[in-house]
Amino acid sequence: MPRIRHERFDCSPGCTVEGTLRYIDGKWKGVVLYHLFEGTLRFNEIRRRIPNCTQRMLTNQLRELEADGLIARKIYAEVPPKVEYSLTPRGRSLEPVITALKIWGDANVTLAPEVSQAAA
Amino acid sequence: MPRIRHERFDCSPGCTVEGTLRYIDGKWKGVVLYHLFEGTLRFNEIRRRIPNCTQRMLTNQLRELEADGLIARKIYAEVPPKVEYSLTPRGRSLEPVITALKIWGDANVTLAPEVSQAAA
DNA sequence: CATGACGGTATCCTTTTCGACACTATGTGC
DNA sequence: GCACATAGTGTCGAAAAGGATACCGTCATG
């Protein structure tokens, strides 16, 4: 089980910052949330949008987001299984945060696929 | 060495979000930045503000932040060593991001030391 | 009968992260 | 001579995160 890690934040002021980070941290959560801002998606729709994420990891991240009350999981009792994920109001309230992250990232993060060739 | 982990982000749009997260993620970085927004601080001043962080971890986080160009490290060649940390312009540009995180956290993160008693 | 889509689990393993602890150098105060 | 303060470094080990891979049940299709 992914373990809830936001049990205590007794460090100092500014820790709600860390607290928020614990919600959206986790390799794929930011991207998942980002895609869900567009609207409700099925499991495999999300998968296809994040090809580098393994099925196991995606399930993990979704479960944690769900446990944190950020996304809702709706299961349809159909025969080819159908599960839809959508943001809860709480999840949607993260939009300004994600937006702030994206704005800074667009300005400051270099998405350079060719950098990794340096060692060759 | 802390290893730079922002080598590639080829996953999908929204990944600058992840990119930004890689900069401010890391257990204590958010708090360190938060305290540095107040102004320049010496090593032990930061330590005292974040008692739960070990010396080694603090050094680590500061080194990573420095390597990422977010903070500046100024060493005074004095005899009781004196090192001052301050934000670079790039680091300061993170302020809206940290602020967004803090706003959400203040509203949504429960700093509840008593919640962890649930299992008892 | 075999295959594929769907939405997962279970298991294993590697990498990364984090914390504890000891140790360093230099100078001051006792 | 001893302890203390500053600002670290080094090593060790536990724990967590992440990735690879295989497997599950069900129904439709070929």
Total-model pTM: 0.81
Q: What is the pLDDT of residues B94-113, one digit of tens each?
A: 999 999 999 999 898 876 54
pLDDT of B27 reads: 86
At A118 the three-state DSSP class reads coil
- Contact between chains at A20 and B50 (C-beta distance less than 8 A): no
Nearest to A31 among B11, B30, B112 (CB): B11
Return the number of other C-beta atoms located less than 10 Å from residue A8's C-beta.
Answer: 16
Q: What is the band of B52 on the pLDDT scale with cuts at 50, 70, 90?
A: confident
Distance (Å, whole) CA A20 – CA A36: 18
Distance (Å, whole) CA B36 – CA B32: 6
Q: What is the pLDDT of residues A35-81, one digit of tens each?
A: 999 999 999 999 999 988 999 999 999 999 999 999 999 999 888 89
CA distance A77 to chain B (A): 31
Cβ neighbors of A33 (< 8 A, separation 6 or more) are A24, A65, A70, A71, A87, A91, A94, A98
Q: Residue range B113-118: average pLDDT?
A: 38
Comparing CA positions, the residue from A75, A91, A106, A105 lying closest to residue A39 is A91
- Contact between chains at A34 and B17 (C-beta distance less than 8 A): yes
Distance (Å, whole) CA A87 – CA B43: 41
Nucleotide nearest to A26 (CA to C1'): D17
- Highest mean pLDDT range out of B10-14, B76-80, B107-111, B112-116? B76-80
- What DSSP line would sit under A27-58, residue for residue? TTHHHHHHHHTT--EEHHHHHHH-TTS-HHHH
